[in-house]
Structure 1
Amino acid sequence: MMTSIQSNGYSIYIGKEIFKALSSFLDKSKYSSYFILCDENTLQLCLPTLITSCSKLQTAEIIEIESGETSKSLEFSAHIWQTFIENNADKKSLLINLGGGVVSDLGGFTASVYKRGIDFINVPTSLLAMADASVGGKTGLDFIGIKNVLGTFAQPKAVFIYPDYLNTLSSRHFQNGLAEVFKMALIADKKFWNLLKEEGQDEETLIIKSISLKNKLVLNDPYDKGARKILNFGHTIGHAIESLFLGSVNELLHGEAVIIGMLIESHIAYQKKMILKKELDEIISGIPPYFTMQSLKSIPLDSLIELIKNDKKNHNDKFYFSLIDKIGSCKFDLIVTKNQIKKAIDFYTTLTK
């Protein structure tokens, strides 16, 4: 059984039969050469299934990067471009991104600017990539310690989601992706939020529901000019926190930082009288206890504020946030003050004691 969702000019295939769809896609497309981007984990755990299921990929050039956020850099893009050139990649070459959010972000960006753009497809292997990064057409690199400050809008030619790849994840990396699923429910669908609070949900169902909700926003606002901005809920604070801890012993995964961001930004919404205290309490109690609640006590507020200033939504020295106005609904382009941010961080600190 396989589910197909039509996105912005491409299809997202989900299910155990996706390799048949991938083989069919490759047969029709007649690419001149194939490149597969993966990290050391997906090389070992996911690549064999892909290669044995799609005979055309048995001659593909494999490009391996290090796993983790530090690979989302110009240095690694340069490594991929060099491999393209050394292997005579032309405009009819295809890059296959086999990995999580880092691989799809890096691969999508690198493909989108090589020879002014070559085709790429995503085969996501993490819950984060399946439920969130697989749809939207955003690519991104980190630069001088600022997350996703470089990037392009570039749509893949297709996305193929094989849910069994989730079996390769550690519990921490699975929960990392679940954070974005919770975010999607909080901003767009209260029934989905209520469903998430119940245990034992089918993973494929969660992926399909999350993609469907995000896809609706993306189709209505492909270039992030309006309502699509609500997808940034939890990310203005979350990205700043993720950047602060990058490279430290307490380095956070993206979803872990977003969970913290959602809690802090929910309190900002409460301060602005957008949500009631009982809704704030429901959000706090609804976030599962297994999420990492990193203490922010030692973080200098000024450093955090400087990172928030680099958020792409901000301009004219004002902070613009996307904030929920009830569970299942979100507003965007809301001005938030430094004092409101400080109060919300102080509140979050009480949760981690």
Structure 2
Amino acid sequence: MPVIRSLGYNITIGKDALKKLSAFLKSAKYSSHVIICDENTLQFCLPTLIMACPALNEAEIIELESGEESKSLDFSAHIWQTLIENKADKNSLIINLGGGVVSDLGGFCASTYKRGIDFINIPTSLLAMADASIGGKTGIDFAGLKNSIGTFTQPKAVFVYPEYLKTLPQRHYKNGLAEIFKIALISDKVFWNGLRTLKPDHNAEQLLTKSITLKNKIVLKDPFDKGARKILNFGHTIGHAIEALLLGTLNELLHGEAIVIGMLVETHIAWQKKLITQKELEDINSTFKKVFEPAKIELATTPILELLKNDKKTSKNKFRFALVNKAGAGKIDVEVNETHIKKAFDYYNTSN
């Protein structure tokens, strides 16, 4: 069973991950346990977790509504209030059982309650397993901006139990594949080429192990997103703006779906900046379109540009992007102007 060492904690992957979790809980001797989940993981994942970990029989359960809307200051306050009412102390443990929303929100609440208590992540979606639960980024959305309030706080452990993927609808599985394709495209050409011919009966655990290993290698170099780690933002500058813009509308997208569009748009920007060739542009586009069938949405650039001005990566009113720099490599802090962005959206809107 793969165990990957990260920033002071282990990422355990495999069918025995919950057994390892049970042993972890037994040895850690926390004063109390609080499980944060949503309505889906409450129904489909929590029973398996409790059965595997008797120490959680008396755990307090906090249920949130699935979806990005729960990553809010209001729901953070609800979690903090529940922790206070249950007399959670500095030796309590928060267990985030769910996808990226749960780990982002739960990690944020844990890192700020009583100036920080321990938390662990048990990701249940492919997106959370491959990306959101790894690396110590926690946060909530505020004022219409994605992840605008948050902390860098590492979990005490991450337990990846691939059996939970069987509970996912196909749309949500593809949502997670987006982040796996991203990490391959910007960091490992061999992995990327393998993904281009990915078969429906692929081994999810192998994909996860490779993807997590690649992300963790980058995170270890740059824990606080000051340099090399910025490459993980490929697709996210545009993708986050699209996700925020469509949130609560009839065209609302899952995170990975927005990031796919972001990667397509930003790949065209990379071509404009002469970082990739025409053939590479066409190969990347055809791969993403074949696997993900991105949404056919006419996207206006003006509201996107307004959101980008408040993006964490914008500096002195200059847009700075992480872009693909040939298959298997990337380049950070690429200065991009409004014309580049508008041309890339025109390309997306006419070619998709």
Give, in whole Å, the separation in 2 of the partners of 1:120 and 1:80: 14
Alignment of 1:110-125 (within 5 A): 110-125=109-124
Secondary structure of the residue aligned to 2:57 is helix
Q: Which residue of 1 aligns with 2:56?
A: 57
Q: Which residue of 1 aligns with 2:140?
A: 141
Secondary structure of the residue aligned to 1:294 is coil
Identity, % of aligned positions: 65
Secondary structure of the residue aligned to 1:237 is helix
The letter for the 2-side match of 1:127 is: L
Q: Which residue of 2 aligns with 1:284?
A: 285
Q: CA deviation at 1:29?
A: 0.9
- Given that 1:265 and 1:344 are in contact with CA atoms closer than 8 Å, whether structure 2 keeps it comes out as yes
Give, in whole Å, the separation in 2 of the partners of 1:64 and 1:172: 23
Give, in whole Å, the separation in 2 of the partners of 1:293 and 1:161: 28
- Structure 1 stretches lacking a partner, 5+ long: none
- Structure 2 stretches lacking a partner, 5+ long: none
Q: Which residue of 2 aligns with 1:31?
A: 30
Secondary structure of the residue aligned to 1:210 is helix
TM-score computed with the length of structure 1 as normaliser = 0.98
- Given that 1:34 and 1:61 are in contact with CA atoms closer than 8 Å, whether structure 2 keeps it comes out as yes
For the aligned residues, what is the CA RMSD?
0.9
The letter for the 2-side match of 1:201 is: H
Alignment of 1:1-353 (within 5 A): 2-198=1-197, 199=199, 200-289=201-290, 291-297=292-298, 299-352=299-352
The letter for the 2-side match of 1:266 is: T
TM-score computed with the length of structure 2 as normaliser = 0.98
The letter for the 2-side match of 1:84 is: L
Secondary structure of the residue aligned to 1:151 is strand
Of 280-289 and 252-261, deviating more is 280-289
The letter for the 1-side match of 2:9 is: Y
The letter for the 2-side match of 1:13 is: T
The letter for the 1-side match of 2:304 is: L
The letter for the 1-side match of 2:327 is: I
Q: 1:208-232 CA distances to partner (integer Å, 9 max, x unpaired)? A: 0000000000001001110110000
The letter for the 2-side match of 1:133 is: A
Give, in whole Å, the separation in 1 of the partners of 2:260 and 2:24: 37
Q: CA deviation at 1:261?
A: 0.4
Q: CA deviation at 1:185?
A: 0.6
Give, in whole Å, the separation in 2 of the partners of 1:312 and 1:217: 19
Give, in whole Å, the separation in 2 of the partners of 1:63 and 1:351: 44
- Given that 1:256 and 1:292 are in contact with CA atoms closer than 8 Å, whether structure 2 keeps it comes out as no
- Given that 1:37 and 1:63 are in contact with CA atoms closer than 8 Å, whether structure 2 keeps it comes out as yes
Q: 1:9-56 CA distances to partner (integer Å, 9 max, x unpaired)? A: 100000011112111111111100000000000000000000011000
Q: CA deviation at 1:288?
A: 4.7
Secondary structure of the residue aligned to 2:290 is coil
Q: CA deviation at 1:290?
A: 5.0
Give, in whole Å, the separation in 2 of the partners of 1:267 and 1:300: 16
Kindly tell me the number of residue pairs found equivalent between the two proteins: 350
- Given that 1:80 and 1:110 are in contact with CA atoms closer than 8 Å, whether structure 2 keeps it comes out as yes
- Given that 1:124 and 1:161 are in contact with CA atoms closer than 8 Å, whether structure 2 keeps it comes out as yes
Consecutive aligned runs of 4 or more in structure 1 exceeding 6 Å deviation: none
Q: CA deviation at 1:295?
A: 3.4
Give, in whole Å, the separation in 1 of the partners of 2:90 and 2:189: 45
Give, in whole Å, the separation in 2 of the partners of 1:218 and 1:300: 34
